[in-house]
Amino acid sequence: MKSIINFLLLISLQVCCHQFPEYPGHDHVHKDKNPHKRQDLPLAEEGQKYLNYHKIVSSNAEFAFRFYQQIASDVAAKNIFFSPFSITTAFALLTLGAKSETKDQIHKALAFNLSDIEEREIHEGFQQLIHVLSHPRNKAQVYIGNALFIEESLKFLPKFLENAKTLYEAEGFSVDFSVPRLVKKQINDYVRNKTYGKIAHAVENLEPTTVMVLVNHIFIKASWKKPFDTRLIRKEDFFIDANTTVQIDLMSRMGYYNVFRDEDLSCWVVEIPYEGDATALFILPDEGKLEQVEAALVTETLTKWKTSFTYKNIKLYIPKFSISTSYNIKDLFQRMGVTAVFNNASDLSGITGERNLMVSKAFHKILLSVHESGTEAAAITVIEFMLRSAKPEASLSVKFIRPFLLIGMDKPTDSVFFLGRIMNPAEE
């Protein structure tokens, strides 16, 4: 009888739009154990040699919107927030050890068509994206990493471990899963450290048969390019629906932004940039048009918005809020046609050399904090900047006081870091 050994996949993300204090012992420098990798290349040479990541970006965006639709079909009138890049990175890493139908189903769910892209190009694309997005030149600091917590008594194929390290910069930890309490603490300490203490309990419990845990984590620390003045924050009503309102802290700022009025979808789109290469698209559907806009969330719509912006002086109002969510990716992926990896048909023989592994759990935890500015020093700078010169009156006012959508992106690569729907910014 085939031995079924369970496998746990954990994906965690922390996004913050203001700066946190340094945590003792946290390594903020992108470490590169290979001195010959592209970190030392001149920017021009690097750009020429590593453009292949563009081959996977459109697939990542397509997956993001498909996955959003799966969540939205379950959670009407609820906040939605997740990181498609975190999820695709973790499952792409997993395909290093997947074969036959198991691998085919994952590729299909991730929107990769192997008639258009080679499997090698997929992995090299993620390798390049992880490097480019984590590059220290980027003022919007992005820390991306993967880790494998591996049962010390189980033999893993050296090729799988080497590819995970080389292509996905995965760290490996040999642990004794026969003492789940200690392993859980080690995993939770690791994730807490990598997310600045914001995700403290990544793993609640471990199944007795678990022999490996794969962790993907992303931490984004960015400040608004045009911060909001704390003195202008006001309490206002946020209209969840026609009959329900909640009190929120509403931030406001007058200034020039990329703005687009999509008459076809009845919504406003405002681009709010961060310092560096990251940016956020805030999408405000007209009253009663939220579902219409959600249904149109496809890569073509995103392209239309990004190419239709007009740089305008507007009065912008957005809520100050923090949300955290978690999702059972296993259930959502099964509905997207990924079934083999979660049952006895699983073929992950590229990991151990035998068909003795299956994924038992896959879940995603995420936290987002949207604030007015950066550190206290930055807030002082903000006030000085706001008072330095008068601005002309804005001809347009866009006020996010009803449910809206939010897309966080890296502009040079077009990678979607996070995607969400804010139904209730006051929800704990």
Query: Domain spans of the chain?
Result: 5-222+323-369, 230-318+391-422
What residues does 281 pair with on adjacent strands? 271, 407
Structure tokens at 277: 């290469």
β-sheet bridge partners, residue 259 = 270, 310
Band of pLDDT at residue 392, cut at 50, 70 and 90: low
The label of the residue with tokens 């003022």 reads 139
- Picking from 198, 173, 197, 170, the residue whose alpha carbon sits closest to that of residue 187 is 173
State the pTM of this model: 0.85
Residue 194 class from Cβ within 10 Å (0-12 exposed, 13-18 middle, 19+ buried)? buried
What pLDDT score does 326 carry? 86
**Strand pairing category for 278-285 and 404-410:** antiparallel
Grade residue 94 by pLDDT with cuts at 50, 70 and 90.
very high
Phi, psi (degrees; rounded to nearest 5) at 30? -70, 110
Name the residue among 68, 88, 70, 85 with its Cα closest to residue 405.
68
What mean pLDDT is reported for the chain? 81
Kindly state the helix (H) or strand (E) to which residue 144 belongs, with its residue range.
Answer: strand 141-151
3-state secondary structure (DSSP) of residue 421: strand
Q: Is 197 left (phi over 0), alpha (psi -120 to 50) or beta?
A: left
**For the ranges 161-165, 346-350, 361-365, which has the lowest average pLDDT?**
361-365
Cβ pair 234, 401 in contact under 8 A? no
Average pLDDT (170-192) is: 91
Which residue(s) pair with 271 in the sheet?
A: 258, 281
Q: Which two three-digit tokens encode residue 330?
A: 């296993």
* pLDDT confidence bin for 31, thresholds 50/70/90: very low
What's the pLDDT score for residue 77? 75
Distances (CA, A) of 123 to 88, 90, 98, 289, 393: 11, 11, 13, 39, 50
Q: Give the DSSP H/E element, type plus range, for residue 105.
A: helix 100-109
In terms of pLDDT, which residue wins out, 215 or 135? 215
% of the chain surpassing 90 pLDDT: 50
Tokens of 214: 């794969």
Residue 46 has pLDDT above 60, yes or no: no
Q: What are phi and psi of 280, to 5 degrees?
A: -130, 135
Estimate the crossing angle of helix 119-133 against helix 84-94, to 10 degrees: 140
**Of 176, 170, 180, 220, which Cα lies nearest the Cα of 203?**
180
Cβ neighbours of residue 239 under 8 Å, at least 6 residues apart?
245, 401, 402
CATH assignment of 5-222+323-369?
Answer: 3.30.497.10
Q: 102's torsion region: left (phi>0), alpha (psi -120 to 50) or beta?
A: alpha
- CA within 13 Å, CB half, 291: 6
The fold for domain 230-318+391-422 equals Alpha-1-antitrypsin; domain 1 (2.30.39)
Please give the pLDDT value at position 255: 93
What is the distance between the alpha carbons of residues 357 and 347, in angstroms, rounded to a whole number?
Answer: 7
Q: Place 347 in a pLDDT band, splitting at 50, 70 and 90.
A: very high
